[in-house]
Structure 1
Amino acid sequence: MSLQLIFKSLLDSGRYSDLTLSCKGKTFHLHRAIVCSQSSFFDAAVKYPFKEASLSHVDLPDDNLATVQPVISFFYLQDYQDLDESRLESRDYTSPRDEELHKAMWNNLGVFMAADKFDISPLKDFARS
């Protein structure tokens, strides 16, 4: 089994999880070694004497679930899909391709901003591309 399949299995199953993250009512069962090694934000949250460290839980009440999910995907897969279109305003597009590009642009912008907040440089580069 490849390392990518192992990481995907860990993400999907939450097996051996030692960190939970919640956002907008959804809880993710994650792994400190994977998450904290890629983000100084999460590393500091669970390393220093904050409640997150004692609970092994990080709550992101002010973040958008549509941008947190790709961040989590990137931690494990070094990739993410252009997701949630519900936060995008309706517009009249001249072609389906214009609509697709518009949605991808806004999704990638949100992911870029989250990557900046969570200090994940490779994700910023990926979202920019």
Structure 2
Amino acid sequence: MAPSTYDEVLISGLQDLYATGRYSDLTLVCGRRSFKVHKAVLHAHSSVFRTMLSGDFAEANQSTIPLPDDSPDSLEVLLYYMYHDEYLKFDTDDYTHNFNANSPRAIVHAYAIADKYDVPGLQLLATYRLAEIVNFESHELHFAISAVRTISECTTESDSTLWDVVVPKVRKQLRWLAGDDSFLKLLREVPELNKKLLQCAAT
């Protein structure tokens, strides 16, 4: 069925541009991967890219911009959001490499890169997605612990958004978690979690 509303037509067109690279005027190079993108799309979504592509910066006149400090997978999630207005689908045919964008750890990385480039819409989607899937029950604990470590490593001290997602879930399972060696190791190695748990208990 053909898109009918203005928004549907716009998103459909953006999806086609991203899938085909048609009319691309910029290539982002990240690790071993290259992404053909459009300056106007980056400008519309990100104040950081908007500044980077302005006339005051060297990148403004370049057709290729290296992003060596970013993860290619996280950048993929960021760009997918810009062109699709949704979080990267796990089963999409457009992405065939071995990457699960919906793992708790990957979602935290998506939040972090959205914060870095000031893309609040993706930050919000990542927060909702993490709240949906992170689980501190025994069969999911490994993934949840990985997410907590990543939150500690990748978010700023002043940003409690993702902590506000995971800490109440930890409290709910704290009785059995207190006897789990991997969780006790996490408490020793991530003091920020201890602090957040105490703050949560005091409220």
Q: If the length of structure 2 is used for normalisation, what is the TM-score? A: 0.51
- Note the residue ranges of structure 2 that are not aligned, 5 or more in a row: 4-8, 91-97, 129-203
Counterpart in the other structure of 2:42: 35
Supply the distance in 2 between the matched residues of 1:113 and 1:81 (Cα, whole angstroms): 18
Counterpart in the other structure of 1:100: none
CA RMSD of aligned residues (A): 1.7
Counterpart in the other structure of 1:81: 89
The AA in structure 2 aligned to 1:124 is: Q
Counterpart in the other structure of 1:97: none
- Does the Cα contact within 8 Å between 1:46 and 1:56 map onto a contact in 2? no
Counterpart in the other structure of 1:125: 124
What is the aligned residue count? 112
More helix by share: 2
Supply the distance in 2 between the matched residues of 1:46 and 1:57 (Cα, whole angstroms): 11
Counterpart in the other structure of 2:190: none
* Shift in Å, 1:41: 0.9
After superposition, what is the alpha-carbon deviation per residue over 1:38-65, rounded to whole angstroms, capped at 9, x for unaligned? 1011111110432211113321101111
Counterpart in the other structure of 2:51: 44
Structure 1 segments, 4+ long, off by >4 Å, are none
Supply the distance in 1 between the matched residues of 2:48 and 2:65 (Cα, whole angstroms): 11
The AA in structure 2 aligned to 1:58 is: I
SS in 2 for 1:81: coil
Q: How does 1:3-82 map to 2 (within 5 A)?
A: 3=9, 4-79=11-86, 80-82=88-90
The AA in structure 1 aligned to 2:53 is: V
Supply the distance in 1 between the matched residues of 2:15 and 2:26 (Cα, whole angstroms): 16
After superposition, what is the alpha-carbon deviation per residue over 1:19-49, rounded to whole angstroms, capped at 9, x for unaligned? 2211012111111111111101111111043
Fraction of identical pairs, as percent: 28
- Note the residue ranges of structure 1 that are not aligned, 5 or more in a row: 86-102
The AA in structure 2 aligned to 1:13 is: T
Q: If the length of structure 1 is used for normalisation, what is the TM-score? A: 0.79
